[in-house]
Amino acid sequence: MNTLVAVAIAPVGVGDELKEYVADVVRVIRESGLSCRTNSMFTEIEGEWDDVMRVVKDATFVLAERGIRTEVVLKADIRPGFENMMERKVRVVDELLA
């Protein structure tokens, strides 16, 4: 079933600068082959539920397996019968604003 998630995965207790840790997480997500987009607060991932959740787990464990306490914030939209929601949702709002 098609699933769109917005996920933020970040280390806790490693100092003030997180960019290298975040880059490690985003790399795992981007290399997954699933549709994804990163912005300043979250990375969106779209695909089948099991595939998306596997990527979230893999991205989380890239930090946790190094002994780093890891925080995950996740919002999911499961919408049967719809695909490409990452692009479609934005396009519909933009059309209303035009």
Q: Tell me: the pLDDT tens digits for 58-98?
A: 999 999 999 999 999 999 999 999 999 999 999 999 999 99
pLDDT score at 51: 98
pLDDT score at 19: 94
C-beta of residue 8 within 8 angstroms of C-beta of residue 63: no
User: Which domains are seen in the chain, by residue range?
Assistant: 2-97 (3.30.70.930)
Q: Where does 12-97 show beta strands of DSSP type E?
A: 35-38, 43-48, 70-78
C-beta of residue 90 within 8 angstroms of C-beta of residue 43: no
State the average pLDDT over residues 9-37: 95
pTM: 0.91
